[in-house]
Amino acid sequence: MILTVTLNTALDVTHRVPRLLPHASHRVTGVAERPGGKGLNVARVLGALGHPVTATGFAGGPAGTLVRELLAGCPGVTDALVPCSGTTRRTLAVVDETTGDTTQFNEPGPQITAGEWSAFLDRYTELAAGARAVALCGSLPPGVPVGAYATLVRTARTAGVPVLLDTSGEALRRGVAARPEIIKPNSAELAELTGSREPLPATRDARRRGAHAVVTSLGPGGLLAATPDGTWQAAPPRPLSGNPTGAGDSAVAGLLSALTEGLDWPARLTRAVALSAATVHAPVAGEFDPRTYEEVRGSVKVTPLR
């Protein structure tokens, strides 16, 4: 199985409105609730691809209860969330149906106690020992040590399990130093890590900081990957309009699933780009449009770079 970690899980609520205007009242045309947070989005996509996946992290309060109820309906996903005394955060996305743009509001998350963090570490160590790969995704809730991801990377590496790290800021900086198999920052997160806004040299610099491979999201431009086997840019055949929320999480699912299947880097990037593009055509994060996935997968251009 693949293990996903979402320390700051969320109840994601998506509202759709005909047009989003500041300082105005809006009539909502549709509402969707789903288990959220980057790692849970990854888990849902992996399950839809047919990969057994276990999801862990924290869940608490009424929102956490609803997250677990919704997660029970996700094919292929096993719930291994750890209870906490605080209340799981909510995120609110408002989709403008005229432009397709999405406005996001993210709560900070519950305060995690030292005892709850210790209980999670015990559960994670047990789960990681039986995993084929681990995804560490998203922000840290209050109370969790800033070096948490570095600790989790080292635990998985001790068990001989490859880790993909997808976070930002100081958590990413410390996590990279623990030498994960893959990191997947977007261009802004990569620039913050390396101090360079040039994606290619910044990606290579991030490898020198400890990551075995670095895959950078370029938005509509696809993915840029610096790996021990070479450097590539993988791009969809054309720009796609829609809701980009969760596209990066689907790319993580593509990379992890291809890694566990033993595919080479061009094939991994092709799957990741196709899933990312197909998520843009899906109504909410954690889902992808199968028709778009098959269409784009056959047309992704993977270019080797020097």
Per-residue pLDDT reduced to its tens digit, 241-282: 677 778 899 999 999 999 999 999 999 999 999 999 988 877
Inter-residue contact 35 to 114 (CB < 8 Å): no
Question: Which has the closest alpha carbon to 184: 116, 109, 276?
Answer: 276
DSSP code at position 256: H
Split at pLDDT 50, 70, 90, the class of 306 is confident
Q: E strands of the chain, at which residues?
A: 2-6, 10-17, 30-36, 53-59, 77-79, 82-83, 89-96, 102-106, 133-137, 163-166, 182-183, 213-217, 223-227, 230-235, 301-305
pLDDT value at residue 101: 82
pTM of the model as a whole: 0.93
From the CB of residue 151, how many other CB atoms can be counted at a distance below 10 Å? 16
Q: E strands of 196-255, at which residues?
A: 213-217, 223-227, 230-235
pLDDT value at residue 283: 72
**Is pLDDT above 90 for 237?**
no
From the CB of residue 207, how many other CB atoms can be counted at a distance below 10 Å? 17
Split at pLDDT 50, 70, 90, the class of 286 is confident
Question: Which has the closest alpha carbon to 248: 187, 290, 173, 159?
Answer: 187
- Greater pLDDT, 102 or 186: 186
pLDDT value at residue 33: 92
pLDDT value at residue 246: 84
Rounded Cα gap, residues 43 and 49, in angstroms: 10
Rounded Cα gap, residues 211 and 256, in angstroms: 15
Rounded Cα gap, residues 59 and 82, in angstroms: 6
In the β-sheet with 10-17, what is the strand arrangement from edge to edge? 30-36, 10-17, 89-96, 102-106
Which residues are marked as active site?
A: 249
